[in-house]
Structure 1
Amino acid sequence: MEPFIVSARKYRPETFEDVVGQRAITQTLENAIKSNHLAQALLFTGPRGVGKTTCARILAKKINQESGDYSPDEDFAFNIFELDAASNNGVEHIRSIVDQVRIPPQVGKYKVYIIDEVHMLSNAAFNAFLKTLEEPPSHAIFILATTEKHKIIPTILSRCQIFDFKRITVGAMRDHLKRIAQQEGINAEEEALQIIAQKADGALRDSLSIFDRVVSFSGKDLTVQAVTENLNVLDRDTYFKVTDLILDGDIPNLLVTYDEILAKGFDGHHFISVLQAILGTSWFVKMSALYSFWN
């Protein structure tokens, strides 16, 4: 039996065109490479699972491909160095990079250093990195990635060209999941994919993980019922029922239904926030008061 590869790895983008929901950034990077205006220190920041490390790897490969004579069979992987700052955050790890960066690449024009979760570096490591980041050798490019830009010291930020990655929209995520489902031969209802995209909360990697989990549960037929059951989310019929009770002013049955929702383990605040989107702010205030009274 072949080993299973999760969708987040199997369908990881290989080119900028494959990156979902970050067109402004990928277009800027492509133009910067073509016009030779690429900064030597870049900072990719944004929420988890939106493509920061993926774009860093694509950029690292593309830099050498665009820098001169390039054979499609040529591999510049040995020019790319990745450091996970979450587990290598000491000053000795940065000093090792500083020592390496002085040596020019043997093949290609650039050596690219990708430092993931850079906010985890210690203050001593940041300080050891400052001079190299300010005046790097002409053959070195640094790409820093982080989910928490505010934890990076200002002297580092001032030396980087900053790219703010945005959360992936529900529509873009749903369309991406639809393409993957077609490639995998899975018959997926569009509304089921919509629920998965909403549950992922802007993180494409999370949506792919949820997709794999639900497919393991439901098989080749991905239905709304299977998704709501596996993700433990309220189905639309419950919201329709509650909305009808509110519009009819049937408070006793509304309280009974609300109690049943809480008894199933659903979060009252989340339920009310969805109702706010359905009914408007005035009803949200009333339901918030109901939640406070009921608890």
Structure 2
Amino acid sequence: MSDSFDLDLPSTASKDAYRVLARKYRPQTFGELIGQDAMVTTLGNAIRRGRLAHAFLLTGVRGVGKTSTARLLAKALNCIGPDGTGGPTIDPCGVCEPCVGIAEGRHIDVIEMDAASHTGVDDMRAVIDASRMTAFVARYKIYIIDEVHMLSKNAFNALLKTLEEPAEGVKFVLATTEVNKVPVTVLSRCQRFDLRRIPAEKLAEHFARVSKAEGVEAEPEALGLIARAAEGSARDGLSILDQAIAHADMEGGAVSAAAVRDMLGLSDRGAIRDLMALLIASDGVGALAALRRQYDLGVDPLGVLRGLLETVHATTLVKLGATQEAGQATEEREALVGWAETLSFAVLHRLWQLLLKGHDEVARAAMPIEACEMALLRLVHASSLPDPGDLARMIAAGAPMMAAPVAQAAAAPSQAPAAEAALPSTVEGIVALLEGAGELALASRIVHHASVISIVEAELVLSNARPLPADLVGDLGAALKLLTRRAWKITTSPKPGRPTLREAEAAQYESFKASILASPMIEAAFAAFPGAELPETEIKSLLEKRRHTA
């Protein structure tokens, strides 16, 4: 009986052996680098002008292309072209012996080392000794030191002199994810490039090209989910896509958004919108039931809160008029526009703060789902209350103090059931109305800055010949709408208006003071007592008495 089993397994040495997508689609030219245009432009100009630094430092988060850039830089500096006569170029040919050898990781003059496993001073001494020799076959000998921040203090010190004055034809390329741990003495000896996080839309486009090259269909929404989960890292995103394709093979061949959500444990965006709607309607029971449904499907409570935070943020951006995310579902776009029209900035900011507080609590909680439920209940009840400013106006106006849904709180000024109040017809009447409602700060701004051109019914035109405070018109309109139960049309014009109340008061004071000083009795008193003065307080007191008796 044979002791072996013929399982007919594929040979791992086959040329068609599987390679993970992150390795298979590693950039082979600078043109294939995603989202690093500024760095490529700078390197291209330096190479064309022959202004090559002796040491480069590449920093950025994981998976943005630091090691790939280091290898591309080695190819660019050592490329000799297809005919063997070329020089350094930002567009290496990819077919000459140096390019092929570097791409395959076997070139004798391009030495890669991982500082995480070579942290000591002895390791650096070996590098220093080897760097004294020129390149064997290439134009430049290049040392690529990855995760350089892991080197010990003594190792850094040993490297300093060589890094500053390397041998002719030797270049160093350092890469790190934690540049703050690299000594300033090393940073000052390197030309630094900060590789940026790759935008989600560019990642999604890249993943679409990879999926097509792999012969796999993928829903745009699925690729968008993967791009967002990658958090700016191409390598992380390709690893997730690899997993999604493997999952899709079991499910029928296409990478679907639903499968990606299940795979990553993400909350369904539709479910998040439904939960958001329940919270806005102050439906605590419905909100908790929706949360439990997500939890039963395996969604992390923190993921639910992150989804709600993203929704509030997206709603705020829509309210500001920002461009909406590309590839966004129609249902999501309509929901965001609806909430942006209904909710005020104050309510959106309150929702954000409550959700952020809840997220922090759940992250530390011993019972995450229970903490998440309590956070949502707090949001349902606390967010339905008016903000302090609206509360003060409601108290001053005698409005009923009762809780209302978030949307009603946002629209409280236009939905208060009180009867319409008499409309002020002068700026003095507006100030009196504001002061009576406790809006002393706003009344003071009107007194000092409002130069009225005209006021008819609920239409007020202010002069902006002199700059007005940025929020004066908006604040005044909101306050008058609440206090008079009428929507006011407040506009500005460059035409000159009447003096502000403060200017009118000052002019009246100066006129009254001049009349007093010109009276025969006061003139006789000053003549009898040279150097005497009439106190300003006395003049103001006399003016007030005159106003009250008028």
Query: Fold match, TM over 0.5?
Result: yes
Q: 2:232 aligns with which of 195, 202, 208?
A: 202
Cα RMSD after superposing both structures: 2.1
Q: 1:128-277 alignment to 2 at 5 Å?
A: 128-219=158-249, 220-277=253-310
Structure with more relative contact order (C-alpha pairs < 8 Å, separation 6 or more): 1
**Secondary structure, in 3 states, of the residue corresponding to 2:97?**
coil
Cα distance change, pair 81–55 in 1 and its aligned pair in 2 (3 A): same
Percent identical: 40
**Secondary structure, in 3 states, of the residue corresponding to 1:61?**
helix
Alpha-carbon separation, structure 2, partners of 1:98 and 1:56:
19
Q: Which amino acid in 2 is paired with 1:63? A: L
- Residue 69 (structure 1) aligned with residue 85 (structure 2): yes
Alpha-carbon separation, structure 2, partners of 1:33 and 1:289:
50
Q: Which amino acid in 2 is paired with 1:134? A: E
Contact 1:273 1:284 in 2 (8 A): no
Cα distance change, pair 135–286 in 1 and its aligned pair in 2 (3 A): closer
Q: Which amino acid in 1 is paired with 2:69? A: C
Alpha-carbon separation, structure 2, partners of 1:66 and 1:73:
7
**Secondary structure, in 3 states, of the residue corresponding to 1:78?**
coil
Q: Which amino acid in 2 is paired with 1:192? A: A
- Residue 30 (structure 1) aligned with residue 98 (structure 2): no
Query: 1:66 offset after TM fit, Å?
Result: 6.3
Cα distance change, pair 216–141 in 1 and its aligned pair in 2 (3 A): same
- Residue 122 (structure 1) aligned with residue 130 (structure 2): no
Q: Which amino acid in 1 is paired with 2:135? A: P
Contact 1:34 1:66 in 2 (8 A): no
Cα distance change, pair 189–162 in 1 and its aligned pair in 2 (3 A): same
Q: 1:96-111 alignment to 2 at 5 Å?
A: 96-111=126-141
Cα distance change, pair 92–250 in 1 and its aligned pair in 2 (3 A): same
Q: Which amino acid in 1 is paired with 2:139? A: K
- Who is 2:121 aligned against? 91
- Greater CA deviation, 252-261 or 158-167? 252-261
Contact 2:266 2:303 in 1 (8 A): no
Q: Deviations over 1:249-291 (max 9, x none)?
A: 3221112222333454433344223212323432233445665
Q: 1:82 aligns with which of 104, 109, 112?
A: 112
Q: Deviations over 1:78-133 (max 9, x none)?
A: 22011111111111111111111111113232111100000111111111101101
Query: 1:49 offset after TM fit, Å?
Result: 0.5
Alpha-carbon separation, structure 2, partners of 1:293 and 1:181:
39
Aligned residue pairs, count: 295
- Runs of 4+ with deviation above 6 angstroms: none
- Residue 46 (structure 1) aligned with residue 60 (structure 2): yes
Alpha-carbon separation, structure 1, partners of 2:133 and 2:292:
67
Structure number with bigger Rg: 2
- Who is 1:281 aligned against? 349
Query: 1:74 offset after TM fit, Å?
Result: 2.5
Alpha-carbon separation, structure 2, partners of 1:90 and 1:231:
39
Q: Which amino acid in 2 is paired with 1:65? A: C
- Who is 2:71 aligned against? 57
Contact 2:156 2:186 in 1 (8 A): yes
- Greater CA deviation, 59-68 or 233-242? 59-68
Alpha-carbon separation, structure 1, partners of 2:349 and 2:302:
14
- Residue 19 (structure 1) aligned with residue 42 (structure 2): no
Q: Which amino acid in 1 is paired with 2:292? A: D
Alpha-carbon separation, structure 1, partners of 2:309 and 2:125:
53
Alpha-carbon separation, structure 2, partners of 1:170 and 1:263:
29
Cα distance change, pair 145–249 in 1 and its aligned pair in 2 (3 A): same
Give the TM-score taking structure 2 as reference length: 0.51
Cα distance change, pair 264–222 in 1 and its aligned pair in 2 (3 A): closer
- Greater CA deviation, 185-194 or 256-265? 256-265
Q: Which amino acid in 1 is paired with 2:351? A: W
Query: 1:152 offset after TM fit, Å?
Result: 1.1
Alpha-carbon separation, structure 1, partners of 2:357 and 2:162:
57
Q: Deviations over 1:171-220 (max 9, x none)?
A: 01000000001111111110000000011111110000000001101123
Alpha-carbon separation, structure 2, partners of 1:66 and 1:119:
33
Alpha-carbon separation, structure 1, partners of 2:227 and 2:68:
20
In structure 2, the gaps of 5 or more residues are 1-9, 11-15, 87-92, 102-106, 313-347, 359-370, 376-550
Q: Deviations over 1:212-256 (max 9, x none)?
A: 001101123111111111111111221121122123332211122
